[in-house]
A and B are shown apart, each in its own frame.
Chain A
């Protein structure tokens, strides 16, 4: 009996991680061959379907989203962990909202973004609409990382600061934040990963234009969207693989960085 159980758990793990490595390896293997320079051309044409504009658009979107979502998420974390009294009703409601937000499928975010930002606020398909939609999507992620990071900061440090006559704000920014930084950064980086991989939410807000957006109100496409469009059009399979490779590499880097940072947090200094 024990042997069967041992076999089953080992087999399952093998299956899980085998599939993971297979997927990563398969995409990298098939795609690297097609990573030739033309695909990085500055201009997208229907012939060379360059992914370069998509890369730039992705960078822009990520930067803008972080600009909006990070302060809000981190400040929200400050309030929840450093100011609110335990059992505060508002805190409970915010937590529920946070949990609910993180369970909403991206297509619903996409539709909301379309109805609210694109149509009602009149941004039309644009970086702006995409940014705000993506920001709402990653908000719970950043909030939660901030909360956990703040939680892990030893209370005795706060006490020492208060005992010296420092107020809450100073204590947060000079003592708590530096210690919590790796954890918060790790969450921010995961948020980047989420935005980079997102398709459904951005399709209806950022749009899927093939050229580089020339302003906040113009449309473009991210790498993930680009890969989706290529896959459904079915004409440029090789380029799809290549896009997949770039996406995977970005995600690998992001995950590596995030793991490194959260190890730094748990290990102490």
Chain B
């Protein structure tokens, strides 16, 4: 290990490895966009994004993905409504309301939650939540509501993870200052610590949204998968992600391009969400 040239060589190997991440991203962008964009260009961006008929087997086929875009948005909003408040409050509990012994148990539990495969979550929802919704609320049980509940559960660890770390990172002096003014522990946490941690909490929500929008397998099992604009939350819906998986297997040439084009739209959504996340992170670092 002593020669200078070996040192230089290894440095080159390390550098090459570091650039792999960049190469991977570039490749992904190139292939996804180059396979999907021509279709969008030919079909028409407006018709594609805002067309509300997705009927690939018609003659001529129509490929409007508005129902899927709305589907993704609706289930994501649902997931956020369910998952974010519970997640933030749980994070507050873990950071400021539970004792050390319990915490040592809960922290790995959160990690476990984020490690459970989506298929297991989906299967659970299929066998447990769908029948309940069917009986108590109506419809087939496979609906926006079900998917939202499922996704809400699935993004909990994402929200909790980052939010809890942010709450913990708030300087002790903020806490002490508030307590010294006579505010209770609970009020201090809510009115002082949470707002102080807001950029970390916001980051976690953005990450959670990204996770919800990108989720596929769990959603497929419980969302109903009808490709039309849903009219109420007990109706089934298809998301951009599930649309791709469901039809890819038997898609013909043009149909497949349309599906890849859907992935392009999804990708752009994700890039925007990621960009937001990075901006919030940069802003909070200053």
In their complex, do chains A and B touch, with some C-beta pair under 8 Å? Answer: yes
Interface residues of chain A, those whose CB is within 8 Å of chain B, are 1-3, 5-6, 8-13, 15-17, 19-20, 23-24, 26-27, 30, 71-76, 78-80, 82-84, 90-91, 93-94, 96-101, 103-109, 111-112, 115-116, 120, 136, 139-140, 143, 167-170, 173, 190, 193-194, 196-200, 203-204, 224, 227-228, 231-232, 237, 240-241, 244, 247-248, 251-252, 254-256, 258-259
Whose C-beta in chain B lies nearest to the C-beta of A115? B31
Q: Are B32 and A103 in contact (CB under 8 A)?
A: no
Q: Are B260 and A231 in contact (CB under 8 A)?
A: no
Residues of A within 8 A of B123 (CB): 27, 227, 231, 240-241, 244
CA distance A177 to B213 in the complex (A): 38
Specify the main secondary structure of chain A where it touches its partner.
Answer: helix
Q: Are B270 and A103 in contact (CB under 8 A)?
A: yes
4 cross-chain pairs, A with B, having the tightest CB-CB distances, nearest first: A105-B214, A197-B117, A12-B89, A75-B17
Q: Are A2 and B14 in contact (CB under 8 A)?
A: no
Known: A2-B184, A139-B21. 10 other contacts (CB 8 A): A13-B93, A75-B17, A83-B14, A97-B21, A99-B277, A107-B241, A167-B2, A193-B115, A227-B119, A231-B126
Whose C-beta in chain B lies nearest to the C-beta of A167? B7
Q: Are B21 and A140 in contact (CB under 8 A)?
A: yes
A/B interface sample: 18 pairs, CB < 8 A: A1-B184, A2-B184, A2-B185, A5-B189, A12-B87, A13-B89, A13-B94, A83-B14, A105-B210, A170-B1, A197-B118, A199-B117, A199-B118, A204-B248, A227-B120, A232-B220, A256-B108, A259-B111
What's the minimum C-beta distance from A255 to chain B, rounded to whole angstroms?
5
- For this complex, into which size category does the number of interface residues on chain B fall? 35 or more
CA distance A224 to B89 in the complex (A): 32
Residues of A within 8 A of B217 (CB): 199-200, 228
What's the minimum C-beta distance from A68 to chain B, rounded to whole angstroms?
10
What's the minimum C-beta distance from B80 to chain A, rounded to whole angstroms?
15
Q: Are A12 and B93 in contact (CB under 8 A)?
A: yes
Whose C-beta in chain B lies nearest to the C-beta of A4? B186
Specify the main secondary structure of chain B where it touches its partner.
Answer: helix
Whose C-beta in chain A lies nearest to the C-beta of B4? A167
Task: Decide yes or no whether B122 CB sits under 8 A from chain A.
Answer: yes
Q: Are A106 and B216 in contact (CB under 8 A)?
A: yes
Residues of B within 8 A of A20 (CB): 109, 112-113
Of residues B21, B118, B266, which shows the largest number of chain A Cβ atoms within 10 Å of its Cβ? B21
What's the minimum C-beta distance from B130 to chain A, rounded to whole angstroms?
12
Q: Are A13 and B21 in contact (CB under 8 A)?
A: no
Residues of B within 8 A of A75 (CB): 13-14, 16-18
What's the minimum C-beta distance from A222 to chain B, rounded to whole angstroms?
10
Residues of A within 8 A of B97 (CB): 6, 9-10, 13
CA distance A11 to B92 in the complex (A): 12
Q: Which of B108, B113, B120 contacts A27 (CB 8 A)?
A: B120
Of residues B16, B108, B221, B260, which shows the largest number of chain A Cβ atoms within 10 Å of its Cβ? B108
Q: Are B18 and A90 in contact (CB under 8 A)?
A: yes
Q: Which of B6, B112, B241 contacts A105 (CB 8 A)?
A: B241
Residues of A within 8 A of B198 (CB): none
